Structure 1
Amino acid sequence: MDAPLLQSRGGKERNYGKENFGSSALGDFRNESRTLWKIAGPAIFTAISQYSLGALTQTFAGFVGELELAAVSVENSVVAGLAFGVMLGMGSALETLCGQAYGAGQIRMLGIYMQRSWVILLATACLLVPVYVWSPPILAFFGETSEISTAAGEFAIWMLPQLFAYALNFPIQKFLQAQSKVMVMAWISAVVLVLHAFFSWLLILKLGWGLVGAALVLNASWWIIVIAQLGYIFVTGSDEAWNGFSWLAFSDLWGFVKLSLASAVMLCLEFWYLMVLVVITGRLPDPLIPVDAISIWYTSFLNDA
């Protein structure tokens, strides 16, 4: 069968056969891929950078001692890992709502949805505080040694500010992602990651502050990310998506909670099955080295994923 003849702009007939069709399809693929990576690339970099904050802290703690590495590893993987999964999962409900609002041209609703998510996630953070406070007996109940449980529990209490940073950060991320403002998050995360590496070295190793320095730097890094992103939103107005605080944030909370919980359950399962491995490893004889090893693998696995 002859190739189709199409009329060109100049009035001449052009032959769009299989070769031209293949070239056109390849060109479309390149254009779509380029557009996709402009959004996905910075978003991936942001996720890796923010997750690397805890990984770097864990690495520097390994230079202090085996117990310190185990304490940071268990807190980072189990206690904070539990909170991270819950917060990220519940915050992910905004992906659906903000995407729909942005697509429908209801730009101002993005700010309302973000505030509504803040209310729910801050309340959830308050409910998770006892897990941090009572983490030593909880870890001991699941088989961790008293030495690791006590050290990890002490570090967990110091890391309570990070929990509330999670509650604010994840809704902000979904709010900015819905508007494709991913480069802002990428730049902020990159700067904070560099500062985090320097001050971790300074406080943990150079000044010898140990776990106190680790907690101070890690908490500060997460809060700098939150404050910098909020500063950008408040100053620019985020293309009219932010119009200040509103009482509408407290309306229809139950429907929002149900959507957030459904989203959290799906995501938490991904994090928790790895977290269980860290807990089970603590039941081995002489668990310091096995816990350190499995935690390092756990951190590397999630970074690669």
Structure 2
Amino acid sequence: MDYSSSIEESLLLSHKAEEKGYILKAKICEESKKIWRVATPSVISRVSSFGTIVVTQSFIGHISSVDLAGYALVQTLSVRFVNGILIGMSSATETLCGQAFGAKQYHMMGIYLQRSWFIDLITLTILLPIFIFATPIFNLLGEEEAIAKSVGYISLWFLPFIYSTIFSLTIQMYLQAQQKNMVIAWLSALQFGIHILLSWFFVIVLKLGISGAMGALCISSWFVVFGEFLYIFGGWCPDTWKGFTIAAVKDLLPVVKLSISSGVMICLELWYYAILVLLAGYMKNAKVAIAAFSICLNISSWIINIIVGIMGAACVRVANELGRGDSRAVKFSIKVLMSTSVMIGLFFWILCLVFSNKLGYLFTNEEEVAKSVSDLSFLLALTVLLGSIFPILSGVAIGAGLQTKVAFINLICFYVIGLPIGAVLGYVIHLQVVGIWIGMTSGVVTQTLALSFMIWKTNWDEEVSKTSARLKRWYLKSSDDQNLEN
């Protein structure tokens, strides 16, 4: 009798375990669907948009090595510097729109979007001298005269591109918060195809050189923006876009504070890579060092943009669930996000190692530059692997509004640890570009560990309460609410 009852108990326990396993699998599948519903368009959009930068670099690289170095400096220093501020300031929009959507405060999303345009346009206009006076700035930084002149010319061409990013960045955050960003994926994919055709036509057929390559970049970047305007203003966002309103420029101080925290967080990360490129410019063979380093950085950035697409999903999922007040769903979503991202990182890590000797020739015909890229391939692969982790953790932080904490982590890991290590290895121990990249990797490793610890120790029930309080404090009544009261 005892024997048969023990068998029944074992079967019962086994059945319960199978049932739990089935429920867990169903939950993982459901969460994955929610993640990829946001991530897939975001990945396509980011990879295509960044692809236009890489394609332009490739065309310029086959025109002139001096202009390739000039483009690399503008793109990885000036543009990255300004983009860091704009992306950071805009990430407040990602936090607020995601939480507002979760709390069903739909009309507030359009107000947050307009506020971000207002803040970002003023910010970018203040930063214009960085592009207008690029040649004297880079002369002061000690760059070669020929490279500095190229930087000055290319910088002016980047102005229309930079202004387009204000709208493309914020609109993408606004649409993905409400899971309507598939339109951006289509527009970005079309942009990439149009950009390749325009670059070929202007550079190869019309032989317009640098102006042709940069003109194609400007035209293709604004193509996406006009498409986004048509989608929003054309009535495809009826719940979240109620038209332009004066409320968007009222009570800006709290939004500015969150935007500044977001800006510092992103800037400290993006500027870190920019400073490392600047350090490469002081190596013995500056043209080769800058070109090789920027090529590797663009390869890693292109791959990491896939992960950044998932980072966008992390922002949305965490913000939405915090807005709904479900802390358990937040924690479960983080686990699924991290598992998905690491698997993708491992795949690209293997690809970088397998094709290490051929990567450089995609961007240049110069043997010396291609060899330098090959020498960096192992470190590049490691960077790609790490890059599958820390963007997701940053996305979780943005979704929760924890940007200030991440800013402090980035400051210490990148500027107290990574940058000094890179400078010492590159210049004192004479490892050149390899030393700088090792320093960069050291900063990323410590940042990843610190962010992991921060997310692990976060009290998500407390974050739900903070989110609820913030949304109530910043809530403005819609016209529908006022009509109901009347």
- What is the TM-score of this pair, normalised by structure 1? 0.92
The equivalent of 1:276 in structure 2 is 275
Mapped to 2, the partners of 1:15 and 1:76 lie a distance apart of 58
Q: Report the CA distance shift for 1:4/1:35 in structure 2 as closer, same or farther (over 3 A).
A: farther
The answer to whether residue 239 in structure 2 is matched with residue 240 in structure 1 is: yes
- The total of aligned residue pairs comes to 297
The equivalent of 1:173 in structure 2 is 172
Alignment of 1:23-34 (within 5 A): 23-34=22-33
The equivalent of 1:258 in structure 2 is 257
Alignment of 1:212-227 (within 5 A): 212-227=211-226
- How far 1:189 moved relative to its partner? 0.4
SS in structure 2 of the partner of residue 204 of structure 1:
helix
Is residue 159–residue 219 contact of structure 1 (8 Å, CA) maintained in 2? yes
- How far 1:292 moved relative to its partner? 1.2
Is residue 99–residue 178 contact of structure 1 (8 Å, CA) maintained in 2? yes
CA displacement 1:39-78 (0-9 Å, x = unmatched): 2122122111111111110011111111121121111111
Q: Report the CA distance shift for 1:253/1:15 in structure 2 as closer, same or farther (over 3 A).
A: same
Mapped to 1, the partners of 2:225 and 2:216 lie a distance apart of 14
The equivalent of 2:448 in structure 1 is none
CA displacement 1:130-162 (0-9 Å, x = unmatched): 111111122222221121111111110121111
CA displacement 1:244-276 (0-9 Å, x = unmatched): 111111111222111111001111122111111
Letter in 1 for 2:228: Q
67-76 vs 29-38, which moves further: 29-38
Q: Report the CA distance shift for 1:92/1:4 in structure 2 as closer, same or farther (over 3 A).
A: farther
CA displacement 1:90-124 (0-9 Å, x = unmatched): 10101111112212222111111111110000001
- How far 1:79 moved relative to its partner? 1.0
110-119 vs 276-285, which moves further: 276-285
Letter in 2 for 1:187: W
The equivalent of 1:11 in structure 2 is none
Letter in 1 for 2:105: Q
The equivalent of 1:110 in structure 2 is 109
- How far 1:227 moved relative to its partner? 0.8
The equivalent of 2:95 in structure 1 is 96
- How far 1:240 moved relative to its partner? 2.2
The answer to whether residue 137 in structure 2 is matched with residue 138 in structure 1 is: yes
The answer to whether residue 80 in structure 2 is matched with residue 63 in structure 1 is: no
Is residue 143–residue 279 contact of structure 1 (8 Å, CA) maintained in 2? no
SS in structure 1 of the partner of residue 128 of structure 2:
helix
Letter in 2 for 1:254: L
SS in structure 1 of the partner of residue 184 of structure 2:
helix
Is residue 90–residue 121 contact of structure 1 (8 Å, CA) maintained in 2? yes
Q: Which runs of 5+ in 1 are unaligned?
A: 6-13
Mapped to 2, the partners of 1:270 and 1:197 lie a distance apart of 30
Over aligned residue pairs, what C-alpha RMSD do you find?
Answer: 1.8
Letter in 1 for 2:209: G
The equivalent of 1:190 in structure 2 is 189
Is residue 143–residue 280 contact of structure 1 (8 Å, CA) maintained in 2? no
Is residue 202–residue 213 contact of structure 2 (8 Å, CA) maintained in 1? yes
Is residue 195–residue 216 contact of structure 2 (8 Å, CA) maintained in 1? yes
SS in structure 1 of the partner of residue 62 of structure 2:
helix
The ranges of structure 1 where at least 4 consecutive aligned residues each deviate by more than 3 angstroms after the TM superposition are none
Mapped to 2, the partners of 1:161 and 1:263 lie a distance apart of 24
Is residue 52–residue 217 contact of structure 2 (8 Å, CA) maintained in 1? yes
Mapped to 1, the partners of 2:72 and 2:233 lie a distance apart of 36
The equivalent of 2:161 in structure 1 is 162
The structure whose residues are more often helix, as a share, is: 2
The equivalent of 1:45 in structure 2 is 44
Mapped to 2, the partners of 1:3 and 1:184 lie a distance apart of 53
The answer to whether residue 199 in structure 2 is matched with residue 200 in structure 1 is: yes
Q: Report the CA distance shift for 1:23/1:106 in structure 2 as closer, same or farther (over 3 A).
A: closer
Mapped to 2, the partners of 1:28 and 1:3 lie a distance apart of 25
The equivalent of 1:77 in structure 2 is 76
CA displacement 1:207-262 (0-9 Å, x = unmatched): 11111112211111111111111110111241321111111111112221111110
71-80 vs 123-132, which moves further: 71-80
Identity of aligned residues (%): 35
Is residue 69–residue 291 contact of structure 2 (8 Å, CA) maintained in 1? yes
Is residue 114–residue 172 contact of structure 1 (8 Å, CA) maintained in 2? yes
Is residue 37–residue 179 contact of structure 2 (8 Å, CA) maintained in 1? no
SS in structure 1 of the partner of residue 284 of structure 2:
coil
Mapped to 2, the partners of 1:103 and 1:21 lie a distance apart of 28
- How far 1:187 moved relative to its partner? 0.7
Mapped to 2, the partners of 1:244 and 1:26 lie a distance apart of 43
Letter in 1 for 2:121: L
The equivalent of 1:121 in structure 2 is 120
Letter in 2 for 1:146: E
Mapped to 2, the partners of 1:190 and 1:69 lie a distance apart of 25
Mapped to 1, the partners of 2:16 and 2:99 lie a distance apart of 40
Is residue 64–residue 205 contact of structure 1 (8 Å, CA) maintained in 2? no
Tell which has more relative contact order, 1 or 2 (C-alpha 8 A, sep 6+). 1
The equivalent of 2:290 in structure 1 is 291
Q: Which runs of 5+ in 2 are unaligned?
A: 1-5, 305-486
Q: Report the CA distance shift for 1:23/1:101 in structure 2 as closer, same or farther (over 3 A).
A: closer
